[in-house]
Amino acid sequence: MTKFIFITGGVVSSLGKGITAASLGTLLKRRGFRVSIIKMDPYLNVDAGTMNPFQHGEVFVTDDGSETDLDLGHYERFIDERLNCDNSVTAGKIYQEVVRKERAGRYNGGTVQVIPHVTNEIQENILRVAKDYDVVIAEIGGTVGDIEGLPFLEAIRQISGRVGRGNVLYCHVTLIPYISAAGELKTKPTQHSVNELRRIGIQPDIIVCRSQLPLLQELKDKIALFCSVANDSIFEAIDADTIYSVPLSLQKQGLDKLVIARLGLQYSEEIDLEDWFEFLEKRVHPERELEIALVGKYTGIKDAYMSVNEALLHAAIHNQVNAVIRPIETEEIEKLGADNVLKGVHGILVPGGFGSRGMEGKIASAGYARENNIPYFGLCLGLHAAIIDFSRNVAQLALANSSEMDPGTPNPVVHIMEEQKTVDKLGGTMRLGAYPCRLEDGSRSRRAYGQSDISERHRHRYEFNNSYRERLDVAGMVVTGLYLEKNLAEIMEIPSHPWFVGVQFHPEFLSRPMRPHPLFRDFIAAAKEYASR
Ligand code: GLN
């Protein structure tokens, strides 16, 4: 029988529900259980693909090409499982399905309502994931009390009647604010949010309290008493300097054991978290510091490049360095010049992006890295920027542009993909998800991966124009990774440069703390070498 753990949030958003879900998933997986995690977002967008990074942070892409909430990235990195469209559910997706069924006459003339039709659809989505797993964790986005969240809370209330209350745990993540004038931690907002949950019929089993300071036992007892939760079921989540310490802290407090006991799960294995301890240990003993420029358009938004930041961190820890990321607004480069803005960095990374704004700054960054032998890593749009710089300044191609920058350019070096020419420009029309790629023997990428055939995740509409392949090749920028079936350039390198690699895909999505992505790993290794010269 599959067990279900539902994670809700109270008081305010951004409490780290996603990290709590991912941490609990990690601990259960390390206990030998098969674990999956679902994110349920109450917003009406069908998926995260059409959302601006300013509002919603990064769009995380899975193998099957689903464009999802960035929490799925945390889940994949923590539990080290590949997720898919079933792990990402939004109210928009649910309503779309309900309306589709209504149009198809599937409700037999009944009045279609939030309860039971929408709530049933939500439950079906949860149960669909359950069949292959011992434990399914479902995180409900937003905060208890949000209007949009109600059908989701009602659905997770009802599900315990379907699968048995003993197979379900409700975990509420809440805030215990510190009021400095009183010098006290306050439990009242938590009491209110638990009351709100109870009003809808959900009695939490576990409360995870986010706070700035440790919670004394008295305070935990008070929360337990007012919220009708057992004394051993109140956990603290103190602000941590890295998200990767959260599983260890929750484990130390006994969260995994409590969950296992409450759900009646059987386990024999002792938990092995040695590699996590080592990872965190290495993090605090770097050999040196490096500065890596991250040239983008959303650098003011912490979450916009979440997976890129995480992948850089994994690679840095592996290389025993502290990689300080210097966020650079690409328009700064356009105003002040690349040499003024990028001076002193040990590596330059240009991540993915959309639209023509700021493109010249990215092209100039690639050029600066190329001319000064600074390690360069271009991801998707970052590859396009590198191709344009190289075409203009080395291969001497007069019309080196991207049709994304200037749709009128005749024969641009980066052009819209054939399949994309006919589709509507807005929403869900890109080349998405995992595609195979063959690596060129002897290339930097081939050495990094240690194998010839790889698979990486995509999210783009434009690509390298193959009619320029010869010209660039002769000038010294070569295609080293190919999607054979369609002869598409997936990786390009400048072999005469110490480390210059651009990729059409998004390697950042596959990096794991214990297994840094090979290209990120080697990029940081090259930056370390550059810095020590
Ligand atoms: N905007 C570019 C394209 O659509 C790059 C996309 C990206 O960087 N993910 O091809």
Total-model pTM: 0.94
Tell me which residue has tokens 């559910």: 89
Q: Are residues 394 and 367 in contact, defined by beta-carbon separation less than 8 angstroms? A: no
DSSP state string for 494-513: -TTSSSEEEESS-GGGG--S
Query: CA angle 378-382-387, nearest 5°?
Result: 95
Extents of the domains making up the chain: 3-43+114-263, 278-531
pLDDT of residue 227: 95
The alpha carbon of 461 and the centre of ligand 1 are apart by a number of angstroms equal to: 6
Ligand 1: distance of its center to the CA of 459 in Å? 7
517 counts as catalytic:
no
State the pLDDT at residue 11: 84
Region 231-258: mean pLDDT is 95
Retrieve residue 156's tokens.
């997770």
| Distance (Å, whole) CA 183 – CA 403 | 59
Rounded Cα gap, residues 401 and 388, in angstroms: 6
The reported pLDDT for the residue numbered 423 is 61
Q: Among 52, 61, 416, 462, name the best residue to mutate to test ligand 1's pocket (greatest count of ligand atoms within 8 A of Cβ).
A: 462
- Ligand 1 pocket check: which of 298, 380, 435 to mutate, most ligand atoms within 8 Å of Cβ? 380
Q: With bands split at pLDDT 50, 70 and 90, how would you rate the model's confidence at 424? A: low
Q: Which residue has the higher pLDDT, 299 or 441?
A: 441
The residue whose CA has the least distance to atom 5 of ligand 1 is 381
CA of 433 to the centre of ligand 1 (A): 13
Q: From edge to edge, which strands make up the β-sheet containing 88-90?
A: 88-90, 35-41, 135-140, 3-9, 168-175, 206-211, 234-238
Give 278-531's CATH code, choosing from 3.40.50.880, 3.40.225.10, 3.40.50.150, 3.40.309.10: 3.40.50.880
Q: List Cβ neighbours of 359 (8 Å cut-off, separation of 6 or more).
A: 330, 381, 385, 402, 404, 405
Alpha helix (H) ranges present in 37-177? 53-56, 71-79, 91-103, 119-130, 150-163
Structure token pair of residue 241 = 């300097």
Instruction: Report the pLDDT averaged over residues 305-333.
Output: 96
In the chain, the percentage of residues whose pLDDT exceeds 90 is 86
Rounded to 10 degrees, what is the CA torsion of 494, 431, 65, 82? -20
Burial of 9 (0-12, 13-18, 19+ CB in 10 A): buried
pLDDT recorded at residue 380: 97
Q: Nearest-5° angle of CA 244, CA 311, CA 520?
A: 140
Predicted confidence (pLDDT) at residue 299 exceeds the cutoff of 80: no
Atom of ligand 1 nearest to the CA of 379: 8
CA atoms within 13 A on the CB side of 145: 14
3-43+114-263 folds as Rossmann fold (3.40.50)
The CA-atom distances, in angstroms, between 35 and each of 38, 80, 131, 295, 455 are 10, 10, 11, 36, 24
pLDDT of 336 higher than 80: yes
Name 73's Cβ contacts closer than 8 Å, sequence gap at least 6.
58, 60, 306, 307, 310, 509
pLDDT, tens digit, 9 for 90 and up, residues 178-204: 999 989 999 999 999 999 999 999 999
For 148, 160, 224, 275, the CA distances from 201, given in Å and listed in that order, are 17, 11, 18, 41
Do the Cβ atoms of 370 and 494 come closer than 8 Å? yes
**380 is an active site residue:** yes
Q: Which residues contact 427 (CB under 8 A, 6 or more apart)?
A: 49, 50
Task: Write out pLDDT tens, residues 19-58.
Answer: 999 999 999 999 999 999 999 999 999 988 888 877 788 9
Ligand 1, residue 352: give the atom nearest the CA: 8
Residue 270 has phi, psi (to 5 degrees) of -75, 150
CA of 504 to the centre of ligand 1 (A): 8
The phi-psi region of residue 284 (left if phi > 0; otherwise alpha if psi is between -120 and 50; otherwise beta) is alpha
CA distance 133 to 273: 21
Which residue has a Cα nearest atom 9 of ligand 1?
A: 352
Confidence of residue 418 (pLDDT cuts 50, 70, 90): confident
Predicted pLDDT at 53:
76
- For residues 418 and 84, the model is more confident at 84
Q: How far apart are CA 182 and CA 7, in angstroms?
A: 31
**Tell me, what's the pLDDT at 399?**
75
> Tokens in use for 114?
């939030």
* pLDDT tens track for 470-500: 999 999 999 999 999 999 999 999 999 999 9
Specify which residues 457 forms β-bridges with. Answer: 434
Measured in angstroms, how far is the CA atom of residue 360 from the centroid of ligand 1? 15
- Which residues form ligand 1's pocket by a CB distance below 6 Å? 352-354, 380-381, 404, 459-462
3-state secondary structure at position 268: coil
Helices (H), ranges, 303-379: 306-318, 330-336, 338-342, 359-371
Q: Each residue of 104-158: pLDDT tens digit?
A: 999 999 999 999 999 999 999 999 999 889 999 999 999 998 999 999 999 999 9
Tell me if 3-43+114-263 shares its fold with 278-531.
yes
Q: Tell me the two tokens of residue 267.
A: 């386990």
Judge whether 227 counts as a catalytic residue: no
Tokens in use for 373? 């032998």
pLDDT in tens, 457-473: 999 999 999 999 999 99
pLDDT value, residue 444: 97
- What's the rounded mean pLDDT across residues 281-307? 92
Q: What pLDDT score was predicted for residue 421?
A: 75
The yes-or-no verdict on residue 333 having pLDDT over 90 is yes
* Active-site residue, selected from the candidate residues 209, 227, 380, 437: 380
Mean pLDDT of 330-354: 95
The reported pLDDT for the residue numbered 428 is: 52
Average pLDDT value for the chain:
94
